[in-house]
């Protein structure tokens, strides 16, 4: 009788989602495209991690990784646990093999269609991704946002990982995504995915900051007010020009129009991202090179001199950025709380 009068303890089912994650910042890493100048990007990230005492993998640090072209290759590798130093080593070792200097480059472009062999690019991607290259994006829980351009439709094709929901996640492998976003016209042949010819995402969004933010706002609207983004350039889009240089002949424009348009898009995306997030939640790290240095003006100059200049510029950029934004970078590079830590906090 007494036992029947006892009040039964109320059992509340555990939530089906991580309640604590709603209240913590949503952290995104955005990496710009730029061919061999990706060496600069990777070196900046390695230096920042060293200063923040985070030398290992970053898939337990950022919620979302996004990138275009070489930035997309790096983003995919980082998202599956490849440490930044390994990404840097892969670019350093494979860059000269991908961008092999050839004689009669103009004639090669006319008669054979591209300057470089896509097979060498594929080998470099395989070296960077390892076995993870065979993984389909839909099976990756870490957020990944990679743009390419669909040649036939003339539109941006976004490749999203399983973190954005199975209905939106891509069926393709990491390897295919990397080859698609890096298929720069005249440099490499288009990469075919499901019968569609894919071109370098840099044609539309060499700096993918705003593309990434849009996907974050759609997927996690309740967390967007706490979104933080670290964006790293490729040392080629921040140089100012003299007013007198705008008056050019057609041939002069032809030589640099594509690079100029890419630079405009990079600066526009960065300015829009900062307006959306504010200076306290967005940081862009890049390098404004001295006019006339080829290492910062070309996408495929993989010489010893270019390597030295890019690595030196990266060291200087990372040092200056960490000195001026240490609190932001320490927070951005700090690991997310583990499930055990979250449970303890909830108790």
> Which residue, among 327, 283, 307, has the nearest Cα to 43 in the 3D structure?
307
User: How far apart are the C-alpha atoms of 81 and 56, rounded to whole Å?
Assistant: 9
CA 298 to chain centre: 19
Please provide the distance, in angstroms rounded to a whole number, between the alpha carbons at the two ends of the chain: 35
- Phi-psi category of residue 69: left, alpha or beta, with phi > 0 → left and psi -120 to 50 → alpha: left
User: pTM above the 0.85 mark?
Assistant: yes
Sign of CA dihedral 95, 82, 198, 71: negative
Q: Which pLDDT tens digit goes with each residue over 243-265? A: 766 766 666 666 676 777 888 88
- The burial class, CB within 10 Å (0-12 / 13-18 / 19+), for 238 is middle
Higher pLDDT pick, 225 / 263: 225
Mean pLDDT (whole number) for 35-50: 97
How far is the CA of 14 from the CAs of 117, 247, 277, 340, in angstroms? Answer: 54, 67, 33, 15
CA 238 to chain centre: 18
Q: Which pLDDT tens digit goes with each residue over 177-222? A: 999 999 999 899 999 999 999 999 999 999 999 999 999 999 999 9
Residue 67 bridge partners (DSSP): 31
pLDDT category, 228, cuts 50, 70, 90?
very high
Q: Are strands 143-150 and 64-67 parallel, antiparallel or unpaired?
A: parallel
pLDDT category, 236, cuts 50, 70, 90?
confident
Name the strand (E) or helix (H) holding 80. Answer: none
What's the chain's average pLDDT? 87
């Amino acid at each position: 009788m007494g036992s029947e009068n006892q009040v039964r303890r109320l059992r509340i089912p555990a939530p089906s989602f991580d309640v604590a994650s709603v209240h913590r910042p949503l952290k995104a890493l955005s990496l710009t495209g730029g061919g061999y100048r990706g060496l600069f990007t990777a070196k900046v990230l390695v230096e920042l991690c060293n200063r923040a005492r985070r030398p290992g993998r970053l898939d337990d640090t950022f919620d979302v990784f996004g990138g275009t072209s070489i930035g997309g290759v790096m983003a995919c590798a980082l998202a599956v646990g490849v440490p930044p130093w390994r990404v840097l080593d892969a670019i350093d070792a494979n860059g000269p093999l991908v961008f092999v200097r050839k004689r009669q480059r103009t004639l090669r472009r006319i008669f054979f269609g591209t300057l470089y062999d896509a097979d060498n690019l594929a080998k470099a991607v395989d070296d960077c991704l390892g076995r993870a290259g065979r993984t389909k994006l839909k099976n990756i829980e870490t957020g990944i946002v990679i743009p390419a351009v669909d040649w036939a439709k003339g539109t941006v094709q976004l490749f999203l990982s399983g973190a954005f929901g199975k209905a939106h996640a891509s069926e393709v492998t990491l390897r295919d995504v990397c080859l698609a976003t890096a298929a720069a016209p005249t440099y490499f042949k288009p990469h075919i995915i499901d019968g569609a010819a894919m071109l370098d995402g840099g044609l539309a969004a060499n700096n993918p900051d705003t593309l990434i933010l849009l996907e974050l706002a759609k997927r996690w609207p309740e967390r967007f007010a706490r979104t933080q983004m670290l964006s790293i350039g490729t040392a080629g889009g921040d140089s100012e020009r003299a007013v007198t240089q705008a008056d050019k002949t057609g041939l002069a424009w032809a030589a640099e129009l594509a690079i100029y348009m890419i630079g405009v898009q990079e600066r526009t995306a960065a300015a829009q991202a900062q307006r959306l997030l504010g200076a306290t939640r967005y940081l862009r790290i890049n390098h404004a090179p001295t006019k006339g240095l080829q290492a910062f003006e070309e996408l495929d100059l993989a010489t010893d001199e270019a390597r030295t200049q890019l690595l030196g510029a990266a060291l200087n950029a990372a040092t200056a950025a960490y000195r001026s934004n240490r609190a932001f970078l320490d927070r951005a590079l700090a690991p997310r709380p583990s499930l055990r830590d979250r449970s303890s906090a909830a108790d």
